[in-house]
Every structure is written in structure tokens, then in C-alpha cells.
Structure 1
Amino acid sequence: MARARIYRPAKTAMQSGRAKTRKWLLEFEPASARKVEPLMGWTSSGDMDSQVTLRFDSKDEAIAYAERLGLDYEVFEPAAPRRSIKAYADNFKYGRQGLWTH
């Protein structure tokens, strides 16, 4: 039986915005190891499920889909983003705590 992972992707290091991180993904875990093709050195696999990525608008939709197909699944909750929102003027305020660098 196929095992699936349900998660919401994190933004990449090259992204400044939240694009492509709002939808939930359902991906199948690989059922077999990849093999190296001896002539060209490419990696291949006979597992076609590992190439499938399904996108859902909500976590509940992804779970309902997995349960409808009878899949084993594991849900990975996204971590809360750590952000401290500051204004540019905070760099120059009187009671500033950090060191001035220039």
C-alpha cells in the first residue's frame, strides 16, 4: 500500500514573497530505491507514484482524498514564520539597543 505525505511547502531561499506556499501538497513516498543506469549515469526508478504531486486548497481536502483512496498518510504541519516587523526609522531611534555599524 502506498504511503503519502501531506504538507504545505516552505518558501525557498530565493523567494521574498509567499507564492506557491498556500496550497497543500500530497506526495507519495518512494516505494523502491533509485538505480543508476550504467551507460549514461542517469538515475531511474520503476516507481511511477513518486512522480505524482497533487495540490489541494486545504488540508481537509487532501486528507479526504487520501482516505477516499485508502492511503496511509502522514500530515506535516507548517512551522509558524518567525518575523519581527520593524520600520526603517527604528535604525535611528534614540533608545536603540543594538550597535551602530557605520
Structure 2
Amino acid sequence: MSDWRSDAIEQVRTLILAAEPATVEEAKWRKASNPDGVPTFSLDGLICTAETYKDKVKLTFAQGASLDDPTGLFNASLDAGTRRAIDLFEGDALDEAAFTALVHAAVARNRG
């Protein structure tokens, strides 16, 4: 895939690794319809996943429900018990400072 979705994934990857350089990225859940798998980012536990869909990129934070989100980045999976997600659509601008703060909060939560 080489379009706005791959650009969004690359932006997220860059932000996560800049915020927490020890983060490990892995591709998981490979299947015929998604041979590259889903990028997952972990540091002392899962931080988030970055799934691509036809119309969006979904950034799901494993423990998002327990993270402060003062700028309201989470806009999906809001009723989920544990996780929260950010759906990015073509043309959306990600608030990089707020996203970086969520990454730091997720790692702090993982470290308990």
C-alpha cells in the first residue's frame, strides 16, 4: 500500500519511536487480505496497534480507557471497557503533541 494510509502509519511510527525510542515494532495477525500484518508497538506491554482499512487508519491503544486524553484524540471504541482508538481519515491532521503525550502515558501505564 502506498497512499495516504501508508503516510499516516509512517507518521505514527516516527512519533512513537521519537517519544519512546526503546519501543519494539512487530507485524502481527498476517492473513491473505493483509499479508503485511498489523503494525504493533510495545514497550513493557502493548502500546497500540495501527490497522489500515479502506477509508481509515485505526490507532488502537490497548489500555486507552485508563489514559487521560485531555485533547479528545480518542474518537472510536469509546464504549470499550479497556481500549480506546483514534480513527484517522484521509485529510485528517493528527495532533502530534497530544499523540506523543498518549504514547508516554501508555508506556507509563505499562510500567505500572
- TM bucket (normalised to shorter chain) is under 0.3
Higher RCO, 1 vs 2 (CA within 8 Å, ≥6 residues apart): 1
Structure number with higher helix proportion: 2
TM-score by length of 1: 0.27
TM-score by length of 2: 0.25
